[in-house]
Amino acid sequence: MNPAADDTGFDPATLAFYTKEAPDYVASGPGGVSRWLAAFLDRLPKGSRILELGCGSGRDAEAMIAAGHDIDATDGTPAMAALASARLGCPVRVMRFDELDVRDAYDAVWAHASLLHVPRLALPGILRRVFDALKPGGLHFATYKGGGTAGRDAAGRYFNYPDAEALRAAYAAAAPWQIDAIEDYIGGGYDGRQGPWLAISARRPDQ
């Protein structure tokens, strides 16, 4: 299980997995939305402009739209974006994390189980892009599989597997993030196994 070998903002083998497995991945995914989504949306005014990174099947984007928000749903693989677009009835942009290049554009950035695939060396740079994309005071939420040592799972997908200290350090190296909370929890995954996860909530400061 070798980790990604470079500092680009994406891992080609992981993107290839989601391209190949998109129909099965969407079909076998849980029907409910992320356990963190309701609390995230409670912190935002209705009509907020939200960027979703790695929207997968579109399940969370669908719930955000139903709650009255303006969603820019994106995914790094065309196959997954097409399936999400069919679910949502609107275009889903194909965009890798390293292609995010806007400033002061969003009230919030939602990244459930997506930034966990960014190679460790590249993570601060990607988080800087997320920071810049937020409006001042904007909210960011992300979840990561924990563990402490980067590597690949049985399907060949790369995970950065941070612990809380490493995650806090990556955000600090990226930008002057205001970290609201880092929470440990036990969660599942595509392989059906339970394991440690981290949820981080952060803001771009108002000033």
Q: What are the residue ranges spanned by the domains of the chain?
A: 12-203
34: alpha, beta or left, given left = phi > 0 and alpha = psi -120 to 50?
beta
User: In 10 A of CB 87, how many CB atoms?
Assistant: 17
Question: pLDDT (tens digit, 0 to 9) for every residue of the chain, 207 residues total?
Answer: 444 545 678 888 888 877 776 665 554 444 568 889 999 999 999 999 999 999 998 999 999 999 999 999 999 999 989 999 999 999 999 999 999 999 999 999 999 999 999 999 999 999 999 999 999 999 999 999 998 899 998 888 899 999 999 999 999 999 999 999 999 999 877 667 788 999 999 999 997
Strand extents, DSSP E, the chain = 49-52, 70-75, 93-94, 106-111, 134-145, 151-152, 158-159, 178-187, 195-203
pLDDT at 1: 41
pLDDT at 199: 96
Q: What CATH number should be reported for the domain whose range is 12-203?
A: 3.40.50.150
pLDDT at 108: 98
pLDDT at 154: 87
pLDDT at 127: 98
Q: Name residues whose C-beta falls within 8 Å of residue 74's C-beta, 6 or more positions apart in sequence.
A: 51, 52, 53, 54, 55, 81, 92, 93, 94, 95
pLDDT at 16: 85
Provide the whole-model pTM.
0.90
Question: Pick from 37, 19, 205: which is nearest to 111 by CA?
Answer: 37
